[in-house]
Structure 1
């Protein structure tokens, strides 16, 4: 789909479409000259076949003349095991740059990260698109990057693990708060959890794989991927863990507290911690684990710590879209602590791209991913 044929994406709405094996698809964004826009694409490679470890999704926001405002790439990793990955790009109003500040028509461009790579999947991929807008501040904010923050790794949270079944996607992510949470994860499966993190709070998280309970022996170099995404589905941090059938654990690198000023930091990782809201922990167990240890679920434990007192927000001059995307409510905290659901009520609009498939076919493809992701039970 060329820019001339691009379908408009409205901030706050979610869309389902497909990403072809080659070529770039474009979506239109009509933006004013005062608000920031964050766009994310989540791709879902077909299950049941290997893909290239460097393949994935690349997104960029471009102005009407094709100049890039921002770009990001997320690769599959984890031995090429097919699983959902997301990348984000933004149109940001910043005093340090004049490019892309004007009101007008912009485009979200989405393409495969490495379509020509060895073992790259030749099939179209299912795709979810989301857009979020953020207003300017009522008063001029800081113009310097944040100072020092507590980068020490705290002791892991201890205690009896509580059962909490992971969700099948961002929209169905299971809320968890500070504590120790356990589920079973099958080879090839991806589980989604979300953690409410308020302004001024710092998130620490780690993952643990339990014994496979199998008589088999072997070693998988990158068995588990744990990715952290921010409330706009922007990638923040990740870890990879090897597995030999015995208990293994690893933690995400320390992250700064959620703060509006983080966007001024030079690194994209710190800049991604610019919001309060629901942060997503996405765990994927590579399908290769089944070759050595069987297809039974492996015990997965998440140790989550949220430190620091909640602070007042930055003082927006208007409303975010969606209105609650960068806030943490009492309902969010109750659901994270008690195992309830906050469901985001996402209603997807289906976009057929380049004549690939129909609406029902696109949804059926995602349905397979959802069904596979729900086949879980601890041994």
Structure 2
């Protein structure tokens, strides 16, 4: 008879990090020295202009988020803005980001920083990006520079945003710069960016701040019962899951991250030709081509618990893109229920970051696909009220409203 293995006990402590997430280009607009600006100028994407105006409104925006009950905010620092040339630091850019981080902390938020969110300096892009001969050295110098310039104001690090998505869009589908469609170069770039992420995490752990990954994960399933579809799912799985799990289990990088974070938006069905199909099949895709399906989050959390037992996890991005805020409320409420159920099963989920706090620029969709809990005029949507009610530590105020403890 096999020995009885007790089930993990439920996680009873409150979620530690209840935050929002954003990126530099999407909130502040592209910068003339980054490769997204060049992509826009070439007509491959709508103009980002000033994003959602965060560069000018950051103090009020961060106070708004803190006052709404959020405890954390993640932003990215535009590498090109700080280092417009390989060996030239723009001190004004450093001062700007230090002011933003200071303002967030003054508002009562813990501030998390991402060092690569889609956009590269144009000078690095011209050298081949992460396929260039000096990519590793350029990346290490950026990570060290960022730690030196901003580390005293950073409460947590998520070094690279969605490595797999970054490599896929840049080198496989060609929708992001440099616009390539090459499977060999995609696979090479994928592993280069994963290694960059783990190397950065290993270094940044020395700061004493928590370091978290942000992998783009999806629940994969075959689109039909054919052997070809099953084989295609296995190929996708090797990219979406095994490409980074192999590093997470390696002796070299097993302790690189304190927490394993991920972005979740939808599940993916794969047919026998290897093409993705929106899932569930009977549902209509949203404006970005996928079906927002909250139930897939339960599958992702269960798999993470199996793949990395005993580790802590963070939902580093959770959001719904579209004009229908009632659908957003339904999606988020179901997703958060799955988080609660996973914690009740003993899955250690330490944080949830919502994408995004305030409507921003959405890459190829421009201003056309809102993700915000607040609109561009900073007016709360019903989904913002939902998130505030469900915030850890939320309590009833004397006026009957709901807010964080201490309001």
TM-score under structure 1 length normalisation: 0.25
Higher strand share: 1
Higher relative contact order (CA 8 A, sep 6+): 1
